[in-house]
Homo-oligomer: A and B are copies of this chain.
């Protein structure tokens, strides 16, 4: 499952587990963390102080939060991708044109990361910055439109690697959790040129995505457009229209790159 290859450094893993726990609970106290991770309070104490000293956690009274020290590294990683700057602008353009949510997603280590996200003017009232696809979020490849679009453009061996590594966890009753079903779906996606996510990640959210590839066929990212089901019609005409829009933006982007 989590085969590290050689010898995982357990102490580092413990520190990271603490950071993850703080992240997931959106702030936690020392005792909460010790209980949750089944570590001695004194051990947690030492780790937390070290992480605060390094700026990765911040202490506010007796609760710990994620620190801003992640920012320099994350911006470094994000902007290192040459696609980021051009894709960024297209995400904003797509959001405005469709009035829905748009994002740009890349794959790393078998997971999908949203590098940029925007929501169209007309829809901004509802949920301003709380979409699941907000920049910075991480997904499994098989349950979002962009992820499936990228999988469909990869060699089968790579797809199997990713599925073996991360599995196909289900989050709604529509999630594809069987490997054979996934491969069928990827075939369909290749045929029509775009992928859909019909309430496969969260209930009530639909999206359409398409991948960006380099001239030699390597996948380098994906765009998707989505929104709540009441705003994203399921009829084929609308879907095709959005897919067409995506396709145009992607062609333009690819043309400008090489």
Asked if A180 is an interface residue, CB under 8 A from chain B, the answer is no
A29 to B68, CA, bound (A): 27
Write the A1-28 contact mask toward B (1 if CB under 8 angstroms, else 0): 0101111110111011001000100100
Give how many copies assemble into the complex: 2
A7 to B46, CA, bound (A): 6
Asked if A254 is an interface residue, CB under 8 A from chain B, the answer is no
Decide if B137 touches A68 in the complex (CB within 8 Å).
no
Interface members, chain A 125-139 (any B CB < 8 Å) = 128-129, 134-138
Asked if A225 is an interface residue, CB under 8 A from chain B, the answer is no
List of B residues within 8 angstroms of A51 by Cβ = 12
Interface residue count on the A side (C-beta < 8 Å): 57
Contact of A13 among B4, B52, B54, B58 (CB under 8 A): B54
Decide if B49 touches A5 in the complex (CB within 8 Å).
yes
Interface centre among A12, A54, A128, A129 (most CB of B within 10 A): A12
Asked if A69 is an interface residue, CB under 8 A from chain B, the answer is yes
Interface members, chain A 87-132 (any B CB < 8 Å) = 106, 108-109, 111, 113, 115, 128-129
Decide if B13 touches A50 in the complex (CB within 8 Å).
yes
List of B residues within 8 angstroms of A68 by Cβ = 74, 77-78, 106, 108-109, 113, 115, 138
Asked if A238 is an interface residue, CB under 8 A from chain B, the answer is no
Across the interface, name the chain B residue whose C-beta is closest to A136. Answer: B75
Decide if A136 touches B12 in the complex (CB within 8 Å).
no
Interface set of A (CB-CB < 8 Å, partner B): 2, 4-9, 11-13, 15-16, 19, 23, 26, 45-47, 49-56, 58, 65-80, 85, 106, 108-109, 111, 113, 115, 128-129, 134-138
